[in-house]
């Protein structure tokens, strides 16, 4: 490592007042225009930073940030709720259609199928921030493109059903 | 000794854990510790003064909603800077390549000024503009080192590069920028 490289490595800490030049370093700096220019640059950058606008009151800033995070989490939980209801609905539809074809099989009860995939939203309430975040991150990790029967927004779609199947579903819903 | 009677302040990692466990006060302390440095970083990187507050807030919002993304191989502050750097890059792009800093609005004195003098503030503005025009990695490596005194290992961990590459980026940045202060 050259003397210039060694000096270059030291400039940030000296500019920031964390260290001082040794006599040898001072002598090098006085006689080396390259190192002098680097020193002047870092001093200028330090002055630029000092001219940055005065920061907002951190308490108010923290309150705003945390409110936004809470709003964001709430809206994602809302999406999660719609997603789980969607899963239940889709499962119900699929099961209803399937039972239409396979009458008499108790395992295909749409209510039972829906119950296995629905997550009751109140159960999310007592979760800690970290648990909620990891659950929400997992929800966002749902692979794209979505499986057949799902729109890009993750909502169930009836688009996969033909006209007869739709009639059966509607019949189920309308009693 | 008074040092033994003053409890150690919790580290950033402890505050993050505490926040994730539900303590909002820990988040407020993290904001108090780092928001001013984030503002200096963003301003030095070329953010317009009027935008700095919003950019700091948006960076913190992105950070707090994705705290699991902090791997602890870099300091919390370096991680925040990397988020702020991403945001600023997006902002540069959103403005269709036009730098956030409005140099065209300023009269930059000719460097061959017959008096041989540049006002310090003009030179600083020239440096700020120069920093904003660096490639993103060069800019962030340079500012992490110049502002925070971060070592190359730390910088590499924060920005997802290698220490050797971080050193090269720093020296490229210095080479380009020091032409502005000669
Ligand atoms: Zn030298």
Stronger pLDDT, A2 or A128, i.e. the higher one? A2
Question: Which pLDDT score is estimated for A175?
Answer: 37
Picking from B74, B97, B120, the residue at the C-terminal end of a domain is B97
What pLDDT was estimated at residue A78? 73
Check: CB of residue B138 under 8 Å from CB of residue B169. yes
The pLDDT of residue A75: 84
CATH number at residue B47: 1.10.1740.10
Kindly report, residue by residue over A52-97, the tens digit of the pLDDT: 998 889 999 999 999 999 999 888 777 666 655 665 566 666 555 5
In a domain, B66, yes or no: yes
Residues B85, B128 share a domain? no
Chain A nearest-CA distance from B105, in A, is: 18
Tens of pLDDT, residue by residue over A13-22, are 999 999 999 9
CB contact under 8 A, B178 and A63: no
Please give the residue that has the higher pLDDT: either B52 or B5: B52
What pLDDT, on the 0 to 100 scale, is given for residue B180?
Answer: 79
Inside any domain, residue B64:
yes
Closest CA to B100 of B159, B44, B151: B44
Interface test with chain B among A9, A40, A69, by most B beta carbons within 10 Å:
A69
A65 is a domain residue: no
A115 in B contact zone (CB under 8 Å): no
Going B18 to B24 to B26 to B30, the CA torsion angle's sign is positive
A97 located within any domain: no
Report, as an integer, the average pLDDT of B144-158. 94
- By Cβ distance, the residue of A42, A64, A128 closest to B146 is A42
Q: Quote the domain boundaries for residue A46.
A: 3-50
The model's pLDDT over B58-84, given as tens digits with 9 standing for 90+, comes to 999 999 998 888 988 899 999 999 999
CA-based angle B15:B19:B20, to the nearest 5? 120
Q: Which of residues 44 through 63 in chain A touch B, CB cutoff 8 A?
A: 44-53, 55-56, 58-59, 61-63
| A175 vs B: CB within 8 A | no
Look at residues B97, B129, B154 and tell me which one is the last residue of a structural domain: B97
Confidence of residue A156 (pLDDT cuts 50, 70, 90): very low
Q: CB B97: neighbour CB atoms within 10 A?
A: 7
Predicted confidence (pLDDT) at residue A126 exceeds the cutoff of 60? no
CB contact under 8 A, B49 and A53: yes
Q: Is residue A57 part of a domain?
A: no
Same domain, B116 and B64: no
Mind giving me the DSSP string for A71-102? HHHHHHHHHHHHHHHHHHHHHHHHHHHHHHHS
Does the residue A32 lie in any domain? yes
Q: What is the pLDDT of residue B182?
A: 72
- CA dist list (Å): B106 to A127, B43, B139: 53, 17, 22
- Domain end call among B97, B122, B140: B97
Domain assignment present for residue B33? The answer is yes
This prediction has a pTM of 0.69
In 3D space, the residue among A137, A51, A64, A133 whose CA is nearest the CA of residue B56 turns out to be A64
**ipTM higher than threshold 0.85:** no
Q: A27 pLDDT exceeds 80?
A: yes
Contact A38 B174 (CB under 8 A): yes
Helices (H), chain B: 2-5, 12-20, 24-44, 49-64, 76-94, 120-132, 136-148, 152-159, 163-178
Q: Are B46 and B101 in contact (CB under 8 A)?
A: yes
pLDDT score for A149: 37
**Same domain, yes or no: B134 and B88:** no
- Check if B176 contacts A (Cβ < 8 Å): no
pLDDT the model gives residue A35: 95
The 8-class DSSP code of residue A150 comes to B
Q: Could you tell me if residue A144 is inside a domain?
A: yes
List B residues 84-143 in contact with A (Cβ-Cβ < 8 A).
120-121, 123-125, 127-128, 131, 143
Residue A4 Cα to ligand 1 middle (Å)? 4
Q: Do B20 and A130 touch (CB under 8 A)?
A: yes
Does residue A145 sit within a domain? yes
Polymer length of chain B: 182
Contact at 8 Å (CB) between A168 and A100?
yes
pLDDT digits (tens, 9 = 90+) for B98-131: 555 544 334 444 445 444 445 678 888 999 999 9
Whether B174 sits inside 8 A of A51 (CB atoms) is no
* pLDDT at residue number A15: 95
pLDDT of residue A30: 96
- B83-97: average pLDDT: 86
In which band, very low, low, confident or very high, does the pLDDT at A155 lie, cut at 50, 70 and 90? very low
Whether the Cβ atoms of residue B140 and residue B44 lie closer than 8 Å to each other: no
Radius of gyration of chain B (CA): 18
Residue B103, in any domain of the structure: no
Q: Domain tally for chain A?
A: 2
Residue B176 belongs to what domain range? Answer: 112-182
For chains A and B, count residue pairs whose Cβ atoms are closer than 8 Å: 130
Task: Return all residues near B146 (Cβ < 8 A) that are at least 6 apart.
Answer: A12, A15, A42, A45, A46
pLDDT for the residue A9: 94
When divided into structural domains, chain B yields a total of 2
pLDDT tens digits along B43-60: 999 999 999 999 999 999
């Amino acid at each position: 490592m050259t003397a210039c490289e060694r000096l270059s490595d030291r400039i940030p800490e000296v500019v920031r007042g964390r260290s001082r030049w040794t006599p040898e370093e001072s002598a090098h700096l006085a006689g080396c225009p390259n190192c002098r220019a680097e020193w002047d640059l870092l001093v200028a950058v330090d002055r630029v930073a000092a001219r940055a606008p005065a920061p907002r009151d951190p308490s108010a800033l923290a309150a705003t940030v945390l409110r936004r995070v809470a709003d964001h989490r709430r809206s994602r939980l809302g999406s999660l709720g719609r997603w789980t209801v969607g899963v239940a609905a889709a499962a119900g539809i699929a099961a209803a259609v399937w039972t239409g074809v396979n009458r008499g099989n108790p395992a295909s009860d749409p209510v039972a199928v829906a119950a296995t995939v629905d997550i009751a939203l109140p159960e999310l309430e007592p979760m800690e921030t970290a648990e909620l975040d990891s659950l929400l991150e997992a929800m966002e990790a749902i692979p794209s493109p979505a499986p057949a029967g799902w729109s890009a927004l993750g909502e169930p779609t009836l688009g996969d059903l033909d006209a007869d199947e739709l009639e059966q579903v509607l019949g189920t819903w309308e009693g | 000794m008074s040092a033994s009677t003053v409890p150690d302040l919790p580290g950033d990692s402890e505050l993050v854990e505490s926040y994730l466990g539900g303590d909002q006060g820990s988040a407020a302390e993290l904001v108090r510790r780092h928001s001013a440095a984030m503002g200096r970083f963003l301003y030095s990187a070329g953010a317009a003064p009027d935008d700095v507050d919003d950019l700091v807030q948006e960076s913190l919002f992105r950070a707090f909603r994705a705290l699991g993304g902090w791997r602890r191989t870099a300091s919390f502050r370096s991680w925040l800077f990397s988020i702020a750097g991403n945001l600023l890059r997006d902002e540069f792009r959103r403005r269709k390549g036009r730098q956030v800093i409005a140099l065209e609005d300023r009269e930059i004195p000719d460097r061959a000024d017959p008096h041989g003098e540049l006002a310090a503030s003009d030179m600083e503005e020239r440096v700020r503009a120069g920093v904003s025009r660096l490639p993103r990695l060069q800019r962030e490596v340079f500012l992490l080192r110049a502002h925070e005194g971060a070592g190359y290992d730390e910088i590499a961990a924060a920005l997802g590069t290698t220490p050797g590459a971080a050193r090269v980026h720093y020296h490229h940045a210095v080479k380009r920028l020091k032409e502005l202060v000669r």
